[in-house]
Amino acid sequence: METAREGVAPAATGGFDGGEHWLVELRSVPAQRLAGAEGRAALEALFARAVARFGLRPLGALTLHTFDGLDGTPGAGGSTAFLALTESHLAAHGFPEAGVLCLDLFTCRPRGCAADADRVWRELTEAVLGACDIEVRRIERGGERKGRIR
């Protein structure tokens, strides 16, 4: 995953005029797609796709932790991932035992897909995880739009 060069700031917008906070919950995800090594690989692929699709600029490497399975098997559980961005952050928490993946993307400027968010997130996630139920919430942050949920 390509990272932002040191000292390169996001495009100047004349100050913070609001950003977007995306909360995406995927349900009915097959457990094997979220657990252990396959779950780690899925999150890495999903983050790479999100970075490319939204034009995000990582500040460093993806931080990813896989938990032990419910039966105690080391590294066989769900994963938590975090990527610091020049725009803010992208995070994910997978719960294979429940078939749930929660994504959180905060950006300091709009990403240009608000009108078509459900389709965009569905395409991103289905390519990696397969078909599942998805709920997309977008919260406008800062500026005059502060706190508005779509």
Tell me: the pLDDT tens digits for 68-110?
A: 999 999 989 999 999 999 989 999 999 999 999 999 999 887 7
Looking at residues 27-41, what average pLDDT do you find? 94
pLDDT band at 133 (very low <50, low <70, confident <90, very high): very high
The second-level CATH assignment, the architecture, of 19-149 is 4-Layer Sandwich (3.60)
Q: CA-CA distance, 30 to 121, in Å (whole number)?
A: 18
Instruction: Give the CA angle between residues 139, 142, 147 to the nearest 5°.
Output: 35
Domain ranges (residues) in the chain:
19-149
- Please determine, for residue 64, whether its predicted confidence score (pLDDT) is greater than 90: yes
Looking at the DSSP bridge assignments, the partners of residue 136 are 24
How much is the pTM? Answer: 0.82
Q: CA dihedral in degrees (24, 114, 46, 80; nearest 10)?
A: -40
pLDDT in tens, 38-52: 999 999 999 999 999
CB 3 within 8 A of CB 57: yes
